[in-house]
């Protein structure tokens, strides 16, 4: 796409950018799956071709996620351009104390995996197609659908765009504050500390770090289950993302629950967008849904 080509061009331009010594670009990334739709409840594949709105339960889930994240001061919000993700993102931001006027940016790179002829059909049909082809889900690709490699390429392209965005934000901070050669330490992300500590006991900022850390920007992304599973796989397998010690392998391969929240800290040492260091603070957490009535209404 034109947008993708532009992002790649900007990325190429950033590869040669080096920052003053001991400066580290550091940003926070919170990724949320959209709320439930009636197709989710009935285990029918939506993919990209079925653009269902949230169900009543889905809106309650989005409300709960919004309340949970209400104290997080996001600097950027991105969402898939499919309706269920757009409604979720809008609901979350509507509950936020700091970001009610922020502009949500819709991006086709965040869409769900395309399932071709299986879209609008029960998940059991996809499994039957895979069995007939001598394959297994999710690696099976139905006719007209996207391969896992194609989905991962979309996620990689979008993540590199976020890294480049963070480098540009850091450059702006330096230009405005006249920081040449000096460090700037920002506040914490606002991500709920009790939730962080439940995940792995990790504080996001530390005064003992040798390198000055810049936590800018603080990004929220709303996307889809199969897409997010592929994106997280790219983080872990390709970029060697560190994981909470309590995280089970089965959790890593599972699809996020509706409005499940995942949180990452990304370090770009000396502005290097090619070899980011990623720490997973929590993955697919749904504690905020404990009081949500999930019965279909």
- Residues annotated as part of the active site: 34, 112
Asked if residue 36 belongs to a known ligand binding site, the reply is yes
Identify the DSSP state of 237: I
Asked if residue 33 belongs to a known ligand binding site, the reply is yes
Asked if residue 39 belongs to a known ligand binding site, the reply is yes
Asked if residue 169 belongs to a known ligand binding site, the reply is no
Over 122-142, what HEC string results?
A: EHHHHHHHHHHCCCCCCCCCC
For 164, phi then psi, to 5°, come to -65, -40
Q: Are 32 and 65 in contact (CB under 8 A)?
A: yes
Asked if residue 52 belongs to a known ligand binding site, the reply is no
- On the 0-12 / 13-18 / 19+ scale of CB atoms within 10 A, 195 is middle
Q: Hey, which residues does 242 pair with through a beta bridge?
A: 279
Q: Which two tokens stand for residue 88?
A: 């979720």
Asked if residue 4 belongs to a known ligand binding site, the reply is no
Among positive and negative, which fits the CA dihedral 83, 88, 94, 98? negative
Asked if residue 60 belongs to a known ligand binding site, the reply is no
Asked if residue 3 belongs to a known ligand binding site, the reply is no
Total residue length of the chain: 297
Asked if residue 284 belongs to a known ligand binding site, the reply is no
Which residues carry a binding-site annotation for substrate? 33-40, 84, 112-115
């Amino acid at each position: 796409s034109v947008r993708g080509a532009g992002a790649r061009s900007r990325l190429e331009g950033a590869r040669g950018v080096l920052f003053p010594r001991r400066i580290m670009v550091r940003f926070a990334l919170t990724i949320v799956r959209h709320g439930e739709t009636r197709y989710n409840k009935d285990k029918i594949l939506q993919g990209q071709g079925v653009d269902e709105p949230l169900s009543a339960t889905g809106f309650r889930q989005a409300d709960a996620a919004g309340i949970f994240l209400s104290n997080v001061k996001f600097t950027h919000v991105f969402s898939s351009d499919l309706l269920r993700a757009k409604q979720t993102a809008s609901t979350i931001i509507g509950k936020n104390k700091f970001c009610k006027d922020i502009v949500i940016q819709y991006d086709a790179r965040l869409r769900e995996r395309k399932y071709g002829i299986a879209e609008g059909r029960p998940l059991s049909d996809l499994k039957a197609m895979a069995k007939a082809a001598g394959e297994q889900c999710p690696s099976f690709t139905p006719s007209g659908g996207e391969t896992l490699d194609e989905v991962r390429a979309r996620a990689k392209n979008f993540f590199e765009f976020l890294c480049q965005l963070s480098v540009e934000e850091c450059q702006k901070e330096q230009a405005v504050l006249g920081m040449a050669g000096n460090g700037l330490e920002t506040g914490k992300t606002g991500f709920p500390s009790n939730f962080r500590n439940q995940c792995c006991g990790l504080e996001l900022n530390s005064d003992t770090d040798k390198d000055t850390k810049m936590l800018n920007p603080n990004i929220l992304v709303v996307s889809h289950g199969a897409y997010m599973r592929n994106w997280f796989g790219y983080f872990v397998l390709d970029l060697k993302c560190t994981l909470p010690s309590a995280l089970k392998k089965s959790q890593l391969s599972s699809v996020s629950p509706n409005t499940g929240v995942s949180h990452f800290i990304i370090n770009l040492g000396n502005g290097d967008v090619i070899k980011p260091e990623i720490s997973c603070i929590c993955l697919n957490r749904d504690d905020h849904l404990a009081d949500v009535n999930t019965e279909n209404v």
